[in-house]
Amino acid sequence: MLSKTSKEYDKSIKRMQKRLIRMEKSTKKKLRRIDKWTKKKKVKQLIKVLQGTECVVAAARALGKIGDQRAVEPLIQSLGDEDPGVRSSVAEALGEIGDDQAVAPLTDVIIHGSQDISSVAAKALIKIGSSKAITPLVKALYNHHWHVRTAAARVLTTLGWETEDSCDSAMYALAIGKYDRCAKYDEIVLRPLIDSLQNGDWLVREATAKTLGQIGKHQAVEPLLEILRCVQTDLAEIGSNKVMDSSAKIIESTAKEISKALGRIGDKRAVGPLFELIQNLRSHHLHSWEVIEALGEIGHASAIEPLTEVFRTGDSYERERVIKALAKTGKPAGEPLDRILKDEHVHINLRRAAAEALNKASIEPEDVHTEVLSCLVREQIDECINLGSRAINPLIMFLGVDESIVSFNAHKVLERIGEPAIDQLIGALENTNPRIRWNVVKVLTKLNWRPQDNYTTILFYVVNGDFDRCIESGESAVDPLIQILGDFNYRGVDSSICKTLVKIGDLKAAHTVIEYLFASPPVRTTTISNGRQVRAELDPMGINGSAWSGFLGDYTSNILDLVCLDLVERETSCKITNELSRVDYEYSFAKSDAALDRLRDLKTAISNNLLHLVARRKDVEKRVEEIPSWDIWRNKILSFEDQRRRAVEELEKRGNPTYDMLTYLNREAWRI
């Protein structure tokens, strides 16, 4: 059964192939005949083919090539053919013949035909060049179909048509895309422009929206919002169907022009839809900058909350435009701009933009603190100095902020103020913020003021990096240095303080130095080879065994030299497992584990203390860059959990001795 069916199918295919071959031969024969008739100008025979069912397009083109007027009437009758290819060929032929009889039918095709056939008919009328087409084509300028208006305008332009009628001029400008001219005839073109928004061509919608924005009539708001909803729908389709990027860019461009138009019109009804559009564009990784600016152009207080939300969740480019948009809303935006100015987590450039916006809008600062901050952020040194003595205390407070530009400019202003600021600066030496104390010392040093008490003197030496003077001060520097150590969180300074305390040689500082080393060892990262391997290690501030001789004299074997420094070191290596920035971390406890083993073997009071320090040692968190993608960061925890456990077990074996700071003062206790 299957074999029989298969044979019948094969026979059917062969019969079909033979039939196609016969048809092809017949068509070729007729085309050769049409070519022969064209050369001999056999119009009657060609008209018969035109009125038949085969080779009609070829016959129409042949008649157009001959250009005999006898063919005009049959060609006009064929304009109504169902086949669009035939209609187009017939329209072209009528244009080639150039007879005025074809003007009215071709004009009718422009008005009632599809976009493609209208374009062909317009070209035919241009070739005919008859003024008889002007009147119907001017009427066609008012047609509600965009392609009809465009085709009519093209012909009128070629015919050199001019008019003084404002309505005709407006519709003509609209049809040829001169949208800047349309704005002069706002009432005339408003309705056709609104109708043009329904055109399926995004480029037409974009240009129309731009014109409606220039006209600025509130009647256009609802139609523009309707098209905005279409934009949202098309964006949703892009997300689901993965349309090519070019489509997304066209929609993005149209959305921007609609947003600009709504911004120029300035109707508060657009605030909600524009905010929704921003979120939609973001979700498709498209720019929303122009939409943000449009919210600002609306200038209504209802835009402040959406703009504030965009600032909270946006990137730096969006945030910059939000600030500009808020500035355009005037005084109601004073509060959010003030918050941005004061937020230390916001980038300084954005804070500066907020300060400039507040200043430009003539919004008065709520207090002198804000006024001084605005001057510092905008780097208006002279303006800040002109505030007089009331600016001194805020300036001193700004010495303690993390933002370097603010603290640097505060430093500069206080220097310029000079002697009138000295008393308040001296008072700030007692401030609980170590960063303020540090910078106050720097300012006072520039003002040639010298300290009177021991702590301030040592602080001056430390701030100015004069550690030799600290060593010369001897034991009187120990207590201030212990107090300063770790106060400012500057690793280089802390390392120098530790070394200075060791060199002074007072064993009462040993407890502080050792505890500090155990509490927060810095992580030093080094790239090895060609960037394909990384090594990070805990660095005990560069204090090697020989540096401890100040504490322990000429001892060659002591707990610090052999055990303590190794305890605060641990290595970790990072190896790339593939080329996509995935990094595997391998930790090595070899050095610190060996040191802990040696410490457990030592049954001394100091070893008890060091075991306590290991037992309460915290893990270290380090932000490291992944390789080879250097802009990707990950937090890595360097864990001492196993060492803590082993130290606790050893202390329990020893009967849980207490931590005794006085043990450090006994020089002999350090000997192994």
In this predicted model, what pLDDT tens digit does every residue of 403-428 receive, in sequence order?
888 999 999 999 999 999 998 998 88
Residue 529 has pLDDT above 70, yes or no: no
Mean pLDDT within 640-657: 90
The contacts of residue 238 (CB under 8 Å, 6+ apart) are 247, 248, 251, 284
pLDDT of residue 551: 58
- DSSP characters for 462-507? HHTT-HHHHHHHGGGGHHHHHHHTTTS--HHHHHHHHHHHHHHT-G
Residue 649 has pLDDT above 90, yes or no: yes
Q: What is the DSSP letter of 583?
A: E
Sole residue written with tokens 């489509």: 247
Sole residue written with tokens 């009889």: 101
The contacts of residue 388 (CB under 8 Å, 6+ apart) are none
pLDDT of residue 424: 92
Least confident of 349-358, 374-383, 485-494: 485-494
Q: Round to whole Å and give the CA distance between 648 and 645.
A: 5
Residue 197 has pLDDT above 70, yes or no: no
- Give the domain ranges of the chain: 35-162, 505-670
Residue 16 has pLDDT above 70, yes or no: no
The answer to whether 406 and 348 have CB atoms below 8 angstroms apart is yes
pTM reported for the whole predicted model: 0.56
Kindly state the percentage of the chain with pLDDT values over 90.
9
The answer to whether 64 and 93 have CB atoms below 8 angstroms apart is yes
Q: What is the DSSP letter of 199?
A: -
Q: Give me the chain's average pLDDT, please.
A: 75
Query: Could you report the per-residue pLDDT of 220-267, keeping only the tens digit for each?
Result: 777 777 777 877 777 776 654 444 455 667 777 777 888 887 888 888
Return the structure tokens found at 127: 């070739």
> How remote is the C-alpha of 155 from its chain's centroid?
47
The answer to whether 667 and 552 have CB atoms below 8 angstroms apart is yes
Residue 651 has pLDDT above 90, yes or no: yes
Query: Could you report the per-residue pLDDT of 79-129, keeping only the tens digit for each?
Result: 777 778 777 887 878 778 878 888 888 888 877 877 778 778 888 878 887
Bigger pLDDT: 182 or 274?
274
Mean pLDDT within 59-70: 76
Query: Could you report the per-residue pLDDT of 199-215, keeping only the tens digit for each?
Result: 555 566 666 666 666 66
pLDDT of residue 208: 66
Residue 466 has pLDDT above 70, yes or no: yes
Q: Round to whole Å and give the CA distance between 586 and 535.
A: 10
Q: Round to whole Å and give the CA distance between 158 and 179.
A: 20
Query: Could you report the per-residue pLDDT of 22-44, keeping only the tens digit for each?
Result: 555 556 666 676 667 767 677 77
Exposed/middle/buried for residue 277 (C-beta within 10 Å: 0-12, 13-18, 19+): buried
Mean pLDDT within 630-656: 77
Strand 620-625, strand 583-588: pairing:
unpaired
Residue 475 has pLDDT above 80, yes or no: yes
Q: How confident is the model at residue 630 (pLDDT cuts 50, 70, 90)?
A: very low
Phi, psi of 177 (to 5 degrees): 80, 15
Q: Name the CA dihedral angle for 613, 615, 616, 617, rounded to a multiple of 10 degrees.
A: 70
Q: How confident is the model at residue 50 (pLDDT cuts 50, 70, 90)?
A: low
Mean pLDDT within 643-662: 90
Mean pLDDT within 389-400: 91
- DSSP characters for 106-165? HHHHHHHS-HHHHHHHHHHHHHH--GGGHHHHHHHTT-SSHHHHHHHHHHHHHTT-----
pLDDT of residue 201: 59
Q: Which CATH class is domain 35-162?
A: mainly alpha
